[in-house]
Amino acid sequence: MTEKTPASMPIRTRFAPSPTGLLHIGGARTALFNYLFARHHGGAFLLRIEDTDRARSTPEATEVILRGLEWLALTPDEAPVYQSTREARHAEVALALLDQGRAYRCFATREELDQMRAEAAAAGRPPRYDGRWRDRDPAEAPPGAKPAIRLRAPQEGVTEVDDLVQGSVRVANAELDDMIILRSDGTPTYLHAVVVDDHDMGITHVIRGDDHLTNTFRQVQIYHAMGWEPPRFAHIPLIHGADGAKLSKRHGAVSVLEFEREGFLPEALCNYLLRLGWGHGDAEILSRDEAIALFDLDGVGRAASRMDYAKLTHLNGVWLRAADDARLTRDVLARLAENSHLTPDAVAEQRILMLMPALKERAKTLFDLAQSAAFLARPRPLPFDTKATLLLTPEARAMLASLAPRLEATDFTVAGLDAALRAFAEETGRKLGQVAQPLRAALTGSTTSPPIDATLAALGRAESLARIAAVSES
């Protein structure tokens, strides 16, 4: 930990999720912006797990967050800090504020606080603590009562934040009450713990969603009370659904690992999230290195972004076509084994790898890719979809039987197969499609596949002829 002020040290950012659920797509974008900003300025990107909500924080949720960040390749530069391990430090700072007269003990009962809330609601005002113990002698407290510790907040003037995205924002101090920083059971409140942790971790820039903006005014008051220099703040707009409403499950996938399961590439998702609320001219397709070189907060807009799943899917297709064939093959094999109840062997792997350049041209997601490659790993007899079954008429089966010797006589290269198919079609007075489509149905069980010559070459001589025979002899 460091005691240096933000102005005298390299840039340090942090992503600070609460492990009470999944890693939401909005959180992933926040992590990405923090990561890119730190990298762009040669600084450090840190991770803090804010697990002080003991009732809701779970190890499973923490693991999901860590897995999601790993999948997105947003690797922190230091070991994660777990907020729950730092309660003694949070209490130490609260007691220091108490000793300095910048905080005080509050003995207000639950019933009194409930009454304050009820009266505020009846008057149409936001609930606020009325400061009844601010200047009262603690000796007047009931015997055995356990106090909370409240910040002695300024009551006049304004608290102002020069936000790097929102601009100058301010609130009248009269609108803020004396918040609790240490509960009566000795545990810190979230707002207080965050300030202490950010200070001790040397965080220079806090980049987070603009739903935290109201918290920032209160946190700045803690910084000032302790005589610490606050970090620079940047509150980025939230992500909404296409209808402008808060993003939720009804709009589609919202958690990072859901996007992974649905077959999106991490680099495509990061590219999309980068452009969701940040822009640099007409740049659309940006690698990680390009994003690091270009990203800064002056490119972040103030308006809420809208999630466009169609655009993300299109972008994923672009990244898919550029991806390494061996990498895509490994993913397809894993998906086939998990979702299609297949057990692809080394032969199937070689077939998929060979046909991958053609397979990925038509796919938008890894899920699509696995579906289109499944026929390469299926054992005989193949299942046939309705359209394929309709194509395989008795006439078509007879044609395939006469085609088989022609194919067997080729060298089974793409060029050789293409020439043989064209020659057969011409000699029998058929169009090439009248030969290729029944052949495609026999080889794949469907009416769609990569070019038929490449499909034959990938299956190989023995398997192709066996599949044709299975159809023509039935």
Beta bridge partners of 246: 240
Check residue 252 and give its pLDDT: 65
Beta bridge partners of 278: 300
**Regarding beta strands 239-240 and 232-236, do their DSSP bridges make them parallel or antiparallel, or are they unpaired?**
unpaired
Categorize the per-residue pLDDT at 285 as very low, low, confident or very high, splitting at 50, 70 and 90: very high
φ, ψ of residue 240 to 5 degrees: the values are -110, 170
Distance CA 151, CA 134 (A): 9
Check residue 250 and give its pLDDT: 67
Q: Is 1-83+188-322 a CATH 2.60.120.510 domain? A: no
Check residue 121 and give its pLDDT: 87
Average pLDDT of the segment spanning 27-42: 97
Categorize the per-residue pLDDT at 3 as very low, low, confident or very high, splitting at 50, 70 and 90: very low
Q: Is 79 exposed, middle or buried (0-12, 13-18, 19+ CB in 10 A)?
A: exposed
Distance CA 360, CA 357 (A): 6
- C-alpha distance from residue 448 to each of 88, 368, 421, 433 (Å): 64, 12, 18, 12
pLDDT tens-digit map of 14-26: 999 999 888 999 9
**What whole-number percentage of the chain has pLDDT above 70?**
97
Check residue 56 and give its pLDDT: 82
Check residue 249 and give its pLDDT: 61
No. of helices (H) and no. of strands (E), the chain: 19, 12
pLDDT tens-digit map of 460-471: 999 999 999 999
Which DSSP category does 56 fall into?
T
Which DSSP category does 24 fall into?
B
Non-local CB neighbours of 46 within 8 Å, separated by 6+ positions: 12, 13, 14, 15, 76, 77, 78, 81, 201, 203
Check residue 474 and give its pLDDT: 73
- Give which of 353, 348, 354 is closest to 377, Cα–Cα: 348
pLDDT tens-digit map of 190-217: 999 999 999 999 999 999 999 999 999 9
Average pLDDT of the segment spanning 403-420: 96
* Rg from Cα positions in the chain: 31
φ, ψ of residue 46 to 5 degrees: the values are -120, 165
pLDDT tens-digit map of 231-275: 999 999 999 888 887 776 667 668 899 999 999 999 999 999 999
Q: Is 414 exposed, middle or buried (0-12, 13-18, 19+ CB in 10 A)?
A: middle
Q: Mind giving me the DSSP string for 227-264?
A: TPPPPEEEEEPPEE-TTSSBP-GGGS--BHHHHHHTT-
CB 58 within 8 A of CB 311: no
pLDDT tens-digit map of 127-149: 888 888 989 998 888 888 899 99
Token duo for residue 362: 């038509």
Coil, strand or helix: which one is 22?
A: coil
Check residue 85 and give its pLDDT: 95
Instruction: Look up the CATH architecture of domain 386-472.
Output: Orthogonal Bundle (1.10)
Check residue 79 and give its pLDDT: 97
Residue 1 has pLDDT above 50, yes or no: no
pLDDT tens-digit map of 359-396: 999 999 999 999 999 999 999 999 999 999 999 999 99
**Which string of b and e fits 224-250 if b means at least 16 CB within 10 Å?**
ebbebebbbbbbbbbbbbeeeeebeee
Distance CA 464, CA 453 (A): 11
- Give which of 370, 364, 307 is closest to 334, Cα–Cα: 370
Q: 4 versus 50: which is more confidently predicted?
A: 50
Count CA within 13 A, CB hemisphere, residue 240.
12
**Considering the chain, what is the average pLDDT of its residues?**
93
Categorize the per-residue pLDDT at 109 as very low, low, confident or very high, splitting at 50, 70 and 90: confident
pLDDT tens-digit map of 309-347: 999 999 999 999 999 999 999 999 999 999 778 889 999
Q: Mind giving me the DSSP string for 455-468?
A: HHHHH-HHHHHHHH
Residue 457 has pLDDT above 70, yes or no: yes
Q: Is the pTM of this model over 0.85?
A: yes
| Residue positions annotated with a catalytic role | 249
| Largest interatomic CA distance in the chain | 108
